[in-house]
């Protein structure tokens, strides 16, 4: 599930009937990442990334990036990911 949301822009939540992602669903995705030992950034880097996303006009529904369809709290945690904003990455 996490891999699909992070790696497949075609699975964009905005393209489905249910675009709202609950806090419980996001926590579960982060728990799965922790269990599978994904390479994650430090808490300080994570918070900085989230701050950048929070002020981005491309943040939709408070959870989703308009450019990749990812849940920002999941993508921002992953060390190998970057901000997908075309031409002007925030992180």
The answer to the question of residue 2 being in a domain is no
The answer to the question of residue 74 being in a domain is yes
The answer to the question of residue 53 being in a domain is yes
**pLDDT at position 34, please?**
85
**pLDDT at position 80, please?**
96
Cα 64 versus chain centre, distance: 7
Residue 73 is part of which domain span? 43-84
CB 79 within 8 A of CB 39: yes
**pLDDT at position 19, please?**
67
The answer to the question of residue 51 being in a domain is yes
The answer to the question of residue 23 being in a domain is no
The answer to the question of residue 22 being in a domain is no
Q: What is the greatest pairwise CA distance in the chain?
A: 34
The answer to the question of residue 60 being in a domain is yes
The answer to the question of residue 17 being in a domain is no
**pLDDT at position 13, please?**
52
**pLDDT at position 20, please?**
80
DSSP H helical ranges for the chain? 2-7, 23-35, 43-54, 72-75
Number of domains in the chain: 1
pLDDT (tens, 9 = 90+) of the chain, 91 residues, equals 455 555 555 555 555 556 688 999 999 999 998 888 899 999 999 999 999 999 999 999 999 999 999 999 999 999 999 999 999 899 9
CB 26 within 8 A of CB 35: no
């Amino acid at each position: 599930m996490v891999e699909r949301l992070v790696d497949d822009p075609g699975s964009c939540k905005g393209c489905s009937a249910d675009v709202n992602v609950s806090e419980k669903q996001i926590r579960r995705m982060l728990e799965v990442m922790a269990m599978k030992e994904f390479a994650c950034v430090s808490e300080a880097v994570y918070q900085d990334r989230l701050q950048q996303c929070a002020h981005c006009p491309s943040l939709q529904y408070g959870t989703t990036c308009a450019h990749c369809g990812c849940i920002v709290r999941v993508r921002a945690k992953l060390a190998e990911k970057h901000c997908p904003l075309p031409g002007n990455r925030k992180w």
